[in-house]
Amino acid sequence: MQLIALEDGKSVIALYAQKGKDYTCPGCQGTVRLRGGKQYQLHFFHPNPKTNCTNHSKSPYHLQTQLRLKKIFPDAHMEHYFPEVNRFADVVVPSKKLIFEVQCSPISLFEVRARQKAYARTGYLLVWILHEKNFNKRRLSDSERHLRKFPSYYTNIDPRGKGWIYDQLELISDVKRFYIGKKCPIHLTQHYYFKKDMFQKSPKSLTDRIENWPVFFSGDLLFRIWRDPDFSDLLTHLEKKGKRQKTKKIWITLFKNIVALHDKHLKAALLRNAKRS
């Protein structure tokens, strides 16, 4: 269901569009029109669908997350076109020079790097919003592991628009999460650039952020340890707790494997003795 179209190069949300009027699809540049009403949600459709257009197939999770960002930033543009890189960004906030890319479906590491390289040329800061529909699982894809080194957060916004955008403490070993802390809702309206000696102490799990993130946002983990250094001690304690849990799981798994191996050899020995007798 497509909720966004263009009129004279500017984004128009279906709720504020007019029936019987031609609009432009930001994906394929084809003509779209408005339909829906009392029984069906207002949305745009292609009178002459193009097979190469993926804009109309965006999930309601994706669209509702875009609308949430639009609500947070009244001056934001949805499906904003950057001609210099020939790309449409999900949500752009000109006043803060921010680009938000909403990702609900799986994405390759190649495409992630391509978008990062392209948007870096625009002079805007790129922030990724990853939907837990396909991300924030126990096992991380190559693309998600890469994205966690750059400004990125998670969301659980559902098709009705309920949910929030959040940060979390997580402990990762290779491609698996073995500890996930509580969700911390973040406030995207306020972001802060790093300054020298801004963090006197920080947990090891946030080292990549401090080294690679150019900014952080109000409410996220970096913001919380910046405003309250004692919070860093709490996160360090949770890290140790998580690692102890991991160690305990490793030993339990090892013990189970040893028992299984012992039972296997014991069964084989009993069978051999039975044949001899």
> Using 50, 70 and 90 to split pLDDT, how confident is the model at 94?
very high
Q: Are residues 24 and 51 in contact, defined by beta-carbon separation less than 8 angstroms? A: no
Q: For residues 23, 25, 31 and 35, what is the CA-based torsion angle, rounded to 10 degrees?
A: -60
- Report the relative pairing of strands 10-13 and 184-185 from DSSP bridges: unpaired
Q: Are residues 84 and 117 in contact, defined by beta-carbon separation less than 8 angstroms? A: no
Q: What is the pLDDT of residue 256?
A: 62
If you average pLDDT over residues 119-140, what whole number do you get? 95
In this structure, how many other beta carbons lie within 10 angstroms of the beta carbon of residue 239? 18
Strand partners of residue 93: 98
Boundaries of every domain in the chain: 1-54, 58-241
- Report the relative pairing of strands 98-103 and 125-131 from DSSP bridges: parallel
Chain segment 180-237, per-residue pLDDT in tens: 888 999 999 999 998 877 887 777 778 888 888 999 999 999 998 888 878 877 777 7
Q: 60: which 2 tokens?
A: 């309601």
Question: Is residue 177 scored above 80 in pLDDT?
Answer: yes
Q: For residues 71, 131, 213 and 222, what is the CA-based torsion angle, rounded to 10 degrees?
A: 80
- Give 36's Cβ-side CA count (13 Å radius): 16
Question: Is residue 59 scored above 70 in pLDDT?
Answer: yes
